[in-house]
Amino acid sequence: MLQCRRAHVRAVLPHDALQSHRPTLLNVPGFISHLYWNKTDPSLLCCMKVVFNFCYIWKNGHAAPILYAAWAEAGFVKEADLINLRKIDSDLEGHPTPKLEFVDVATGSLGQGLGAACGMAYTGKHFDKSSYRVYCMMGDGECSEGAVWEAMAFGSHYNLDNLVAVIDANRLGQSEAAPLKHDMDVYRRRCEAFGWNTYVVDGHDVEELCKALWQAQQVKGKPTMIVAKTFKGRGLKGIENTDNWHGKPLPKDRAEEAIKDLESQIQNPNKTICPELPNEDTAPADLSPITLPSPPNYKIGDKVATRKAYGVALAKLGQSSPRVVALDADMKNSTFSEMFHKAYPERFVECFIAEQNMVSVAIGCATRDRTVAFASTFAAFLSRAYDHIRMAAVSESNINLAGSHCGVSIGEDGPSQMALEDIAMFRAIPTCTLFYPSDGVSTERSVELAANTKGICFLRITRPELKVIYDPKEKFEVGVAKVLRQSDSDQVTVIGAGVTLHEALTAADQLASEGVNIRVIDPFTIKPLDAATIVSSARATGGRIITVEDHYREGGLGEAVLSAVGEEPGIMVTRLAVNRIPRSGKPQELLDLYGISAKHIANAVRQTFAN
C-alpha cells in the first residue's frame, strides 16, 4: 500500500489545465500497487517486454498518469518527467502507447483491450506454454462495447485461466452514469453467464483486491473477472462520485489538498518491498527470416484461386517456423486457412464469427514478437474491425490480415459479401503494406514477404480461379511492379490487379489483333506503389494510363496511381472501377455490367485516341 500511495501522489502532481482526468486516478491505485510490486522483477526494468514478465493491458487510458506514476515509483520513469505529461516532447502521452517500453498495446479506443489480452493469454497458455499471467484493466463504460463480450466469449471458450480482467466499476461514464451504475450483482451474473470465474470486491480495499488476485491464480479452466466497486474522485469532498468531472483538471488548491492528504497516509517513506520474481520459463523468440521451404508448385497456364494459394503458402510457412500461427473467423474452408489448420491444429486459433475480436487477438498474439500471426476472413467483414486495425497501427503491431472474396468477381453471393472498400481502408493505415497478388506464384511470395515485413500487412485475395502467369522462380519485392506486356510501340499503359490484371491481358491480346499495342503492369503491392515504373511506362506510352479495378473508385488502385503521378506533367489517368452498389450475378456478367471487363478496357483504350 505504501508504493500505491506514493504513486498516487505522483499521479496527481501535475496540475496543468491540459492534464486532466484526475478523479479517475483515485479509483485504481490498489490494483496497480499489487501488480507492480508483487509481479515485476525490478532487475528487468531495462527490458520490460521479456516474455516471462507478466503482461498488463491498461484500458482505462485516461487514467494513464497512475500507470506512469507506478513506473516512476518502480524507478523506470523519472519523477521529473511526470510534469511533462501529454506534452509534445514527452512519450508520456494522454493514452499509453508502445513508445514506452513497458506498454505492449496502445489504448484509448475502448472495448479492444480485453481481446488483445485474450491473444496474449492464449499465446502464453497454448503456444509458449509458459507460466506468465495476463492482466487487463477495464472501465465500466466500455462494457457497452460489443467487442468486450466477443472477448469474454473467447476467453471462456479457450479456458484462459492465466487471464485476469478487472472492471473499474466507478458508476460514472463520460457524460452520465454508466448503464449498470453500481449494480454489482448484474455485473457478476453477466460475467458468470459468459463462463468467467467472478469476484465482486471493494476496489479501494487493497487487501481485498490482493485476495481476489491470489484466488484467481488458484482457479483452473476459467478466466477470472474482478468487478471492483470504486468511486471516482475518492476522498475529494464535492468531487467524489459526482458527474461532470470527466476530462476536467482539479483546481490547483484541490490538487494540493489531495496531495497533502495522500502524503499524510505514508507512514514509512523509506520502506522497500521486494517483489515476487517471475519464472524464466519461456524461450526467446527466433527472429530469423521465415522463407517458403519450397518454391510455388505451379506451371504457367495452370488455374488456381489466389485464396487457395494463400492457404498453401500459409501451411508451407508453418513448416518453416513454429512462430507462424493462423487465426480465422469461421471462414477457414473459404479462405483456405483450413490447410494450415489440418497441418498444424495446435497453432490454429478459431475465433468464430467475431472479426473485431479476431483482429485484437491477433494483436495480442503478436506482442513481444512471440508469433507471426496471419488472420483471415472475407475482406468485406474486416471493415467491421477497422477501428481495431487502426489501433493495431498505433500499437506498432506486426500482424498479417488476409481478406478473400474481393470485388464483384465473387458472383452470385451479392454485394453484402463483396469487398469493394478494402483497398481504400488499408491504404489509409500509415504502417500498412498492401499486397494484391494476381496468380498462385505471386500469392505464395506475398505470404512469404508479409511474414517478414514490419507493420500491418493486408493480402487481397480473390475467389475465382486465375491463370498462373509467373514462373515459380520469379522474384518479388515489396514496392516493385511487374511489366507483363511491353513493346517499343505501346500506346497506352494499363494497370490492373488480381482479376482485372487478367482482363487487361485479354484486352491486350484483342487490341494486338487490331494492331494496337498496350503496356500491361501488375503493381503487386498497391502500398507502397511502384511509382517509378508507372511514371516511366506512362512516359513511354504518350502519357496515357488506364487503371482497372474490382473496387469502388474511391480510394482504390486508380486513386493510388493518381497520387503517384499527380505531380508529373503530361500524364492522363482514366479510371475504370465499380461505380455503384452491385448486385448478384455470374462473375463475368458482373465484370461486364460494371465496366471492368476486357471489353471495356479495350474500349477505353480506343477512346483515348478518339479523345
Give the mean model confidence (pLDDT) for residues 536-564. 98
Residue 347 CA: distances (Å) to CA of 264, 311, 359: 53, 14, 16
Alpha-helical runs (H) found in 194-305: 206-218, 252-264
Which H or E element spans position 95?
A: none
> Cα dihedral sign for 158, 161, 166, 167?
positive
Task: For domain 2-264, give the CATH superfamily.
Answer: Thiamin diphosphate (ThDP)-binding fold, Pyr/PP domains (3.40.50.970)
Residue ranges of domains in the chain:
2-264, 305-467, 483-610
Catalytic residue among 142, 338, 355, 448: 355
Q: Tell me: the pLDDT tens digits for 27-45?
A: 555 566 666 555 544 434 4
Give the mean model confidence (pLDDT) for residues 254-270. 74
Q: Tell me: the pLDDT tens digits for 190-206?
A: 999 999 999 999 998 88
Q: What are phi and psi of 496, to 5 degrees?
A: -135, 170
Please give the share of the chain, as a percent, with pLDDT higher than 90. Answer: 72
Cβ atoms of 463 and 410 closer than 8 Å: yes
pLDDT value of residue 226: 97
Contacts of 521 (CB under 8 A, 6+ apart): 481, 482, 483, 484, 493, 494, 495, 496, 533, 534, 537
* Predicted confidence band of residue 435 (pLDDT cuts 50, 70, 90): very high
How many Cα atoms are found within 13 Å in the side-chain-facing hemisphere of 221?
Answer: 1
Contacts of 540 (CB under 8 A, 6+ apart): 490, 493, 519
Average pLDDT of the chain is: 90
Strand partners, 21: none
**47-56, 394-403, 410-419, 560-569, range with the lowest pLDDT:** 47-56
| Grid cell listed for 553 | 473508385
Residue 3 CA: distances (Å) to CA of 155, 226, 258, 271: 31, 22, 16, 9
355 is a catalytic site residue:
yes
Give the mean model confidence (pLDDT) for residues 347-367. 99
Residue 580 CA: distances (Å) to CA of 21, 141, 381, 415: 46, 39, 19, 10
Cβ atoms of 117 and 163 closer than 8 Å: yes
Q: Which residue has the cell 500499437?
A: 395
Q: What are phi and psi of 15, to 5 degrees?
A: -130, 25
Q: 372-378 and 324-328: which strand pairing?
A: parallel
Cβ atoms of 390 and 416 closer than 8 Å: no
Of the candidates 121, 242, 223, 236, which has an alpha carbon nearest to the alpha carbon of residue 170? 242
Residue 226 CA: distances (Å) to CA of 31, 113, 165, 196, 239: 10, 15, 6, 10, 25
pLDDT value of residue 2: 45
Strand partners, 224: 164, 197
Give the mean model confidence (pLDDT) for residues 315-319. 99
User: pTM of the full predicted structure?
Assistant: 0.93
Give the mean model confidence (pLDDT) for residues 552-566. 98
Decide whether 305-467 matches 483-610 in CATH topology.
Answer: yes
What is the residue type of 360? S
Distance CA 441, CA 300 (A): 9
Q: What are phi and psi of 324, to 5 degrees?
A: -75, 125
Give the mean model confidence (pLDDT) for residues 258-275. 71
Q: What are phi and psi of 560, to 5 degrees?
A: -65, -40
Reduce the DSSP state of residue 352 to 3 states and report it. coil
Reduce the DSSP state of residue 445 to 3 states and report it. helix
Of the candidates 508, 506, 494, which has an alpha carbon nearest to the alpha carbon of residue 547? 494
Give the mean model confidence (pLDDT) for residues 278-305. 93
pLDDT value of residue 24: 56
**CATH 3.40.50.970, domain 305-467, yes or no:** yes
Q: Tell me: the pLDDT tens digits for 377-401?
A: 999 999 999 999 999 999 999 999 9
Check whether 53 has a pLDDT greater than 60. Answer: no
**124-133, 207-216, 225-234, range with the lowest pLDDT:** 225-234
Cβ-based neighbour number of residue 71 at 10 Å: 26
Residue 307 CA: distances (Å) to CA of 83, 150, 335, 338, 410: 52, 26, 6, 11, 12
Q: 224-229 and 163-169: which strand pairing?
A: parallel
* Predicted confidence band of residue 282 (pLDDT cuts 50, 70, 90): confident
Check whether 18 has a pLDDT greater than 50. Answer: no
Distance CA 51, CA 369 (A): 9
Q: What are phi and psi of 57, to 5 degrees?
A: -110, 125
> Cα dihedral sign for 337, 342, 345, 347?
negative
pLDDT value of residue 471: 98
What is the residue type of 166? V
Q: Which CATH architecture has domain 483-610?
A: 3-Layer(aba) Sandwich (3.40)
